[in-house]
Amino acid sequence: MSALSNPHDRYFKESFARTEVARDFLNAYLPPEVRAWLDISTMTLQKESFVDPDLRQHFSDMLYQVQTVAEEPTYVYLLFEHKSYPDQFTIFQMLRYCVRIWEQALRDDDSLARLPPILPLLVYHGEQPWRAPQDMVELLAGDEALHLYGPRFSCRLLDLSSWSVTRIRKSILRVVLQALQSVRDPRLGRDLLPGMLKLLIELTKEQGAIEYIQALLTYLSAASPHLTEEEVIDALDQATVDKGGKTIMPTLAEKWYEQGVEQGIEQGIAKGVEQGIAKGVEWGERLGAARTLLDQLSYRFGPLDPLLEEQIRALSMSQIHTLSLFTLDASSIDQVAAQVERLRNE
């Protein structure tokens, strides 16, 4: 399964590759006594993935290097399990991946006298609560006397199935984790998505909000079994209108269209993505037609009233077509404005 056909993997990597998200996560979920030893500001994302190719449909991973306060290198290994149920041997898989990280460190620097510490963090967003082992000793059979000779290895768990959104401050991280947590929730589109979109807009400038919203909606449209196009549209309508009555919807739609999000459909990604992105493509086509019409009107009648421009952009595709035909015989912009008002009142 490729990254394009695995929306969980794609959204996880897109989100946690962002410095602000990753730093917030480490500050929120590393134990205080560990965090005190680390200089989180030095965090850098490493490019390697250590997950077996045949397991990448179930696991995603991110590796960060962080300096300690003593300026010594440490690694934070983030493993994301996107199965719908806990895997008994996940802790064993994580140990294997950490061994690979150490092997890579030795290849990169054969003068190492000791191995750099690795802090393993596991994020799980299955439907069932996590009850699988978090320590290797729990996987070992036989008497406890034999366990002394087994590997001492454990991880820190974030189980999104039992996590509460109120436990973390308002941040981009909060939206990312809530999206992963609620992707299978039937209430997603109706009750949760509008608030998530509003928070993204509140926390970021317009361009940043558009990028985060695009990533969020692409993920949820592909991965949620419940989210509908109508719910996406309603949530955007609720979230993207600012105090002045303007909306970032046109900018968002243009971005989806211009970046060719619809190409994903041609590459055979999940049907849910087709449904979720189709509306973005439709918005882009409609706004392209509106832009052409506005250019024609400006050429004939001079600069247009900004309110009239907004009203034309808000028309449906069929209304824009009707207005385009009407303007061929219109002799003044007032006639055009009157026709726009009639179309809006239909």
123-156 residue pLDDT tens: 998 888 899 999 999 999 988 899 989 899 999 9
**Residue range 63-70: average pLDDT?**
94
pLDDT at 229: 78
Neighbours of 315 (CB within 10 A): 19
101 falls within a domain: yes
% of the chain with per-residue pLDDT over 90: 37
**Structural domain includes residue 45:** yes
pLDDT value for 165: 79
Domain-located, residue 239: no
Which pLDDT belongs to residue 206?
Answer: 66
Q: Map tokens 């919203």 to a residue.
A: 213
In this structure, of 39-48, 86-95, 252-261, 268-277, the range with the lowest mean pLDDT score is 268-277
With beta carbons less than 8 A apart as the criterion, state whether 220 and 276 touch.
Answer: yes
The answer to the question of residue 39 being in a domain is: yes
Domain count for the chain, please give it. Answer: 1
Determine the pLDDT at residue 180.
92
- Write down the pTM of the prediction: 0.69
Domain contains 155: yes
* pLDDT score for 77: 93
Residue 318 lies in a domain: no
Q: Classify residue 258: in a domain, yes or no.
A: no
pLDDT-derived band of residue 251, with 50, 70 and 90 as boundaries? low
Mean pLDDT of 10-32: 91
Average pLDDT of the segment spanning 87-110: 93
pLDDT band of residue 304 (cuts 50, 70, 90) is: confident
Q: Quick one: pLDDT at residue 263?
A: 46
Q: Crossing angle, helix 172-182 and helix 7-16, to 10 degrees?
A: 170
In which band, very low, low, confident or very high, does the pLDDT at 285 lie, cut at 50, 70 and 90?
A: low
Averaged pLDDT, 287-300: 80
Q: Mean pLDDT, to the nearest integer, of 166-176?
A: 88
pLDDT at 240: 67
pLDDT at residue 268 in the model: 42
- Give the span between the Cα atoms of 51 and 93, in whole angstroms: 8
- Structural domain of residue 93, as residue ranges? 7-181
On whether the CB atoms of residues 125 and 186 are closer than 8 A, the answer is no
pLDDT of residue 79: 92
Return d(Cα 60, Cα 198) in angstroms, integer. 28
Q: What is the mean pLDDT of residues 241-266?
A: 51
Give the Cβ contact number of residue 35 at 10 Å.
15
In a domain, 332, yes or no: no
- Which contacts qualify for 235-244: CB closer than 8 Å, 24 or more apart? 235/189, 235/193, 235/194, 235/197, 236/197, 238/194, 238/197, 238/198, 239/194, 239/195, 239/197, 239/198, 239/201, 240/197, 240/201, 242/201
Structure-model confidence comparison of residues 257 and 31, the more confident one = 31
- The β-bridge relationship of strands 73-81 and 118-124 is parallel
